[in-house]
Amino acid sequence: MSLTKTDIRNLILAAAALAICALLPLGDNGYWLGLGVTIAMFTTLATSWALFSGPTHYISLATAAFFGVGTYVTGLGIDALPFWSLVAIAGLIGAVLAALVGLATLRLSGVYFVIFTLGLAELVRQSITWVQNNTGQKGLYVLTDLDEAGIYWWLLGLAAAVFLTGWLIGRSRLGFALRVIGDDETVAAHSGINTARAKVLLFMLPGAVAAMTGAILAPRYVYIEPSLAFAPILSFQVVIMALLGGASRLWGPLVGVIPFTFLLEAVSSNFPNQTTLVIGIAFLVIVYLLPGGFVGLLGKILHRLNAREGA
Amino acid sequence: MNRRPFLKLVSALTIATALAATAASAETIRIGAVAPKTGPLAGGATVTQWPSIQLWVNQVNAAGGLTVDGEKMMIELIEYDDQTNPGETIKAVQRLATQDDANFIIAPYGTGLNLAAAPLFDRYGYPQIAVSAITDQQADLAAKFSNMFFTLGTTTALAADVVKVLSGMRDAGQMGNKVAMVNVADAFGIELATAAKPLFEEAGFDIVYETSYPLGTQDLSPVIKGAAAAAPDAFVAWSYPPDTFGLTEQAMIENLDVKAFYTAVATPFPSYGTRFGAAAEGILGAGGVNPASPAFMEYAAAHEAVTGAKPDYWASATTYASLEILGQAIEAVGLDRAAVSAHLKESTFETILGPISFDENNSNAAFWTVGQWQGGVFKGVASRGRDGTVPVILKDGWE
């Protein structure tokens, strides 16, 4: 693997950006840090989501399922194990669960896959509730000393790992195979690509990342209950943010997450009685006006500029 | 140039400036409120939480505001919808504390959302007088979050008093000792069932039927049919709002023959009494109040006049009482939040429920636990340290 000058420059720029982001808790420990946690959380989730769904065009609504599993790992283990090991265990369980789901469903395509992933959160939630019900589990409380700044740094670290992984995959044979699958699965199969294996491998990544995100955020919620841990809205938010940015570039979801978080914040603070309604309208506007996301918009603008120069 | 719009603009500006000047001279107390207006808990919050807040602010402002350091200060209420999402609750509390500079924040709605907000209330030093956060972990939580207070009771007390009421009926020879116990398989339903089972066994009850059903189950007829087949004397369901209604409806259809019928959350809602009418007579439920007390009657009348809806017979009055407590503490020591928290720990407050004080675990030890529909009103039949309990009656058919 050889790095070009552009690669090295990009890596340095990314590292600098990460360092600047890491300084946020030193500047503000309240409102902006709170928004920072939200942005870091959705950046991590949406970027890892797009790593799989971007090239393959498989829309996964399983984020809430993996996220919920992660919060439960922390909820159940916080009294027995150190926090970092719980994050690692959550990642492992998320990856294994994603592999099982992938093996069962990724041979299906299109809408079958979407429906299955949507149902997965409910399936996992009911399974966990069933176990709790039969063991007479009391409520799960996560009381730690981890504060907002700590959670923010954990999420930032995870986000950096996701970006690095995404960048490496993009340069690898696996990344190339996935782009071929996304363009035409039949052609990919005929070219000797083991399409099922490639898809399962890559699906494990968003699974693990979402579970780790859930594990990191559990101390923020203090009390873990199924309806809050497995809220299906999370899956949709991640998809919408990723699509707003554009799932075809590694940095696409990031440019979706940041404006969307500020939009949600502005709506919730200015329309306390119509929050859900205004958010719904915003979704419609985004879908109609920006079908390709910000990445698509940028592409169009560049294309137009080039055309003008050519003429 | 047409002068009229210009004149209008100038006069509007003048009025606005004048208004701003008056607003600046008479300082207001900014009080934040965050609770569900949408999402799964919106149904409960719009019955129990929001109307009581609206009523309290309305009454305080109608009386000229709260007296702080000898000066009357009006309340400015800032409301946010958390969409029943703990992430949104956290953002809203953060916003209230740092952007809106709220002087005080009313505790959120529901156990999960209250606990998600607790670290922020703690960090910014806001007293958090939680109502709809029933837990057995009060000691641990109060140790961790020293400004968090609990008003509505504990899980174990709610379960234990049901066992006590049923034991009383059995010992009086009114019924046998066979109990059918079911629960919704979700956080609070599981906690209650887990607490109740050993208590029933200890009290010598025979649990002849026991099952659970997932949250959101539409068809509850197998649950009631299963219970009926075991021929119990009492039916106890640790239920949530949708299934509280569903189980009652099914019990009417099956004409479930029991001497005592208990459903948990939402049984004290006025809509429950309206929906089942005469069939609700004798049904037991979680919570209760003393509806005959003049303080409650006055509150209920004002609640209906101001908000257009009746309060429920449990947490509504406690929510209002929690605001009375906050108001009294502010009038006693001013807007300093640390002083208000300290005052909450050491004083006794006169509320519509009677006197309330907080023990070493920041818990109110006097609360209602079991109530019963009698003559179209949900009356408290068991409590910890509250006056006005009425004798329990037998469930006599569903007509």
pLDDT, tens only, A106-133: 777 678 888 888 889 889 988 888 888 8
Of the candidates B40, B87, B99, the beta carbon closest to that of A31 is on B99
A27 touches chain B (CB under 8 A): no
Same structural domain for residues B281 and B170? yes
Yes or no, beta carbons of A276 and B135 under 8 Å apart: no
Same domain, B373 and B237: yes
Across the range A56-63, mean pLDDT stands at 88
A221 touches B: beta carbon within 8 Å: yes
Mutate: best of A268, A271, A273, partner B, most B CBs <10 A: A268
Contact B37 A222 (CB under 8 A): no
Together in a domain, B255 and B360: no
Per the listing, tokens 């999370």 go with A234
Chain A, 50-109: which have a CB under 8 Å from a chain B CB?
A: none
- Average pLDDT on B319-339 reads 95
Q: State which residue of chain A sits closest to B86, comparing Cα positions.
A: A221
Q: What is the pLDDT of residue B172?
A: 94
Q: Structural domain tally of chain A?
A: 1
Mean pLDDT of the region B221-235: 96
Between helix A252-270 and helix A293-310 the angle, nearest 10°, is 120
Residue A277 located in a structural domain: no
Continuous segment of H or E residues that includes residue A20: helix A5-22
- Nearest-CA neighbor of A211 among A43, A80, A44? A44
Measure in Å the smallest separation between the Cα of B237 and chain A Cα atoms: 14
- pLDDT at B214 > cutoff 90: no
Domain hosting A146: range is 5-232+245-250
**pLDDT at residue B3, as a whole number:** 46
Give the dihedral sign, CA A219/A222/A224/A228: negative
Q: Average pLDDT of B92-120?
A: 93
Do residues B174 and B302 both lie within one domain? no
- In this prediction the ipTM stands at 0.83
How many other C-beta atoms lie within 10 A of the C-beta of residue A269? 17
Q: What value does the mean pLDDT take over residues A232-259?
A: 88
Residue B229: which CATH number?
A: 3.40.50.2300
The Cα of B120 is separated from the nearest Cα of chain A by a number of Å equal to 9
B206-214 sheet: strands from edge to edge: B206-214, B178-185, B234-238, B260-263, B283-286, B367-374, B377-384
DSSP structure string for A231-247: -THHHHHHHHHHHHH-T
What does the pLDDT read at residue B16?
47
- What is the DSSP-derived secondary structure letter of residue B204? T
Give chain A positions within 8 Å (CB) of B87: 38
A31 CB neighbours in chain B (<8 A) are: 94-95, 97-99
B186 and B274 belong to one structural domain: yes
pLDDT per residue over B238-295, tens digit each? Answer: 999 889 999 999 999 999 999 999 999 999 999 999 999 999 999 999 999 999 999 9
Query: Is position A286 within any domain?
Result: no
The answer to whether residue A122 sits within a structural domain is yes
Provide the pLDDT for residue B305.
95
Q: Give yes or no: residues B143 and B123 share one domain.
A: yes
Question: Do B217 and B118 belong to one domain?
Answer: no
B13-44 pLDDT, tens digit each: 444 444 444 444 358 999 999 999 988 889 88
Rounded-to-integer distance, Cα A30 and Cα A28, Å: 6
Q: What is the pLDDT averaged over residues B213-224?
A: 91
Which residues partner with B179 through β-bridges?
A: B207, B234
CA distance A24 to chain B (A): 16
In a domain, B397, yes or no: no
Q: Do residues B12 and B20 touch, judged by C-beta distance below 8 A?
A: no
In angstroms, the Cα distances linking B83 to A168, A275, A294, B40, B58 are 38, 8, 28, 8, 24
The span from the CA of B53 to the CA of B214, in Å, is 33
- Who among A133, A143, A265 is closest to B140 (CB)? A143
User: CA of A266, closest CA in chain B: separation in Å?
Assistant: 11
Task: Look at A139 and B91 and tell me if their CB atoms are within 8 Å.
Answer: no
Q: In this predicted structure, what is the pLDDT of residue B1? A: 41
For position B262, what pLDDT does the model report? 97
Q: Check B116 against A222: CB less than 8 A apart.
A: yes
Tell me how far apart the alpha carbons of residues A11 and A17 are, in angstroms, rounded to a whole number. Answer: 10
Name the residue among B90, B135, B197 with its Cβ closest to that of A139: B135
Per-residue pLDDT, averaged over B190-218, amounts to 92
Q: Tell whether B258 and B297 lie within a shared domain.
A: no
d(CA B154, CA B135): 5
Q: Is residue A263 domain-resident?
A: no
Q: Token pair for residue A79?
A: 């009294």
Which residue is listed with tokens 């990642």?
A91
C-alpha distances in Å from residue B293, one per residue of A114, A238, B240, B298, B378: 56, 52, 28, 9, 13
Residues B267 and B196 both lie in one domain: yes
Same domain, B373 and B228: yes
Specify if A293 maps to a domain: no
DSSP H/E element including B234? strand B234-238
| B395 within some domain | no
Mutate to test the interface with B, among A32, A125, A129 (most CBs of B within 10 A): A129
Q: Output the average pLDDT for chain A.
A: 87
Number of domains in chain B: 2
- Residue A45 lies inside a defined structural domain of this protein: yes
Q: What is the dihedral of CA A28, A30, A33, A38, to 10 degrees?
A: -170
Asked if A133 and B97 come within 8 Å (Cβ–Cβ), the reply is no
- The pLDDT of residue B364: 94
Q: Please answer whether residues B234 and B178 qualify as being in contact, where contact means their C-beta atoms are separated by less than 8 angstroms.
A: yes
Q: Are A71 and A217 in contact (CB under 8 A)?
A: yes
Report pLDDT for A20: 87
pLDDT digits (tens, 9 = 90+) for A26-43: 887 788 998 999 999 999
A137 interfacial to chain B (CB closer than 8 Å): yes
Rounded-to-integer distance, Cα B137 and Cα B142, Å: 8
Structural domain includes residue B8: no
Instruction: Compute the nearest-CA separation of B187 from chain A (Å).
Output: 6
- Average pLDDT estimate for B365-391: 94
Residue of higher predicted confidence among B10 and A141: A141
Kindly determine whether residue A268 and residue B112, on different chains, have CB atoms separated by under 8 Å: no
Q: A39, A225, A241: best mutation site toward chain B, by most B Cβ within 10 Å?
A: A225
Between B102 and B185, where is the model more confident? B102
A275: nearest CA partner in chain B:
B81
User: Which tokens go with B203?
Assistant: 């009290």
Q: Give kind and range of the element (H or E) at residue B192.
A: helix B187-202
Round to the nearest angstrom and report the end-to-end CA distance of chain B: 77
Give B191's contacts in chain A (Cβ within 8 Å): 138-139
* Cross-chain residue pair A222–B118, CB shorter than 8 Å: yes
User: What is the least distance, in Å, from the CA of A307 to any CA of chain B?
Assistant: 45
Q: Which domain holds residue B219?
A: 155-291+369-384
**Short-list A310, A294, A208, A226, CA closest to A258:** A294
Cα–Cα nearest to B77, from B33, B25, B45, B23? B33
What is the radius of gyration, based on Cα positions, of chain B? 23
pLDDT of residue B194 exceeding 70? yes
pLDDT of residue B19: 46
The Cα A242–Cα A238 span in angstroms is: 6
Residue B60 CA to residue A250 CA, distance in Å, equals 55
Summarize pLDDT for A140-179 with one digit per residue, the tens: 888 888 888 999 999 999 999 999 999 999 888 888 888 8
* Residues B132 and B74 placed together within one structural domain of the fold: yes
Chain B positions with Cβ closer than 8 Å to A: 37-38, 40, 79-81, 83, 85-88, 90-92, 94-95, 97-99, 111-112, 115-116, 118-119, 123, 135-137, 140-141, 144, 183, 185-188, 190-191, 193-194, 197, 212, 214-215
> How far is C-alpha B311 from the geometric centre of its chain's CA atoms?
10
Q: Does residue A296 form part of some domain?
A: no
CB contact under 8 A, A221 and B85: no
Give residue A184's pLDDT band: very low, low, confident or very high (50, 70, 90).
Answer: confident
Between chains, do A130 and B185 touch, taking CB under 8 Å as contact? yes
> What's the length of chain A?
311
Lowest mean pLDDT among A254-268, B116-130, B307-321: A254-268
pLDDT at B148: 95
**Closest Cα to residue A273, out of B87, B35, B81, B94?**
B81
Closest CA to A33 of A152, A145, A157: A152
Asked if residue B399 belongs to a domain, the reply is no
Task: Convert the pLDDT of each residue in B49-74 to its tens digit.
Answer: 999 999 999 999 999 999 998 899 99
Query: Considering the domain boundaries, does residue B390 fall inside one?
Result: no
State CA B102 to chain mean position distance: 23
For range B78-106, the mean pLDDT: 93
CA–CA distance, B208 with B194 (Å, rounded to integer): 16
Q: Structure pTM?
A: 0.86
**Taking CB atoms and an 8 Å cutoff, what residues of chain A touch B86?**
220-221, 228
A148 located within any domain = yes
Q: Is pLDDT above 50 for B127?
A: yes
pLDDT beyond 60 at B8: no
pLDDT at B75: 96
Res. B320: pLDDT tops 80: yes
Q: Please indicate, yes or no, whether residues B345 and B375 belong to a single structural domain of this protein.
A: no
φ, ψ (nearest 5 deg) of residue B225: -65, -45
Local confidence band at A25 (pLDDT 50, 70, 90 cut-offs) = confident
Q: Using CA atoms, how far apart are residues A142 and B303, in angstroms rounded to an integer?
A: 37
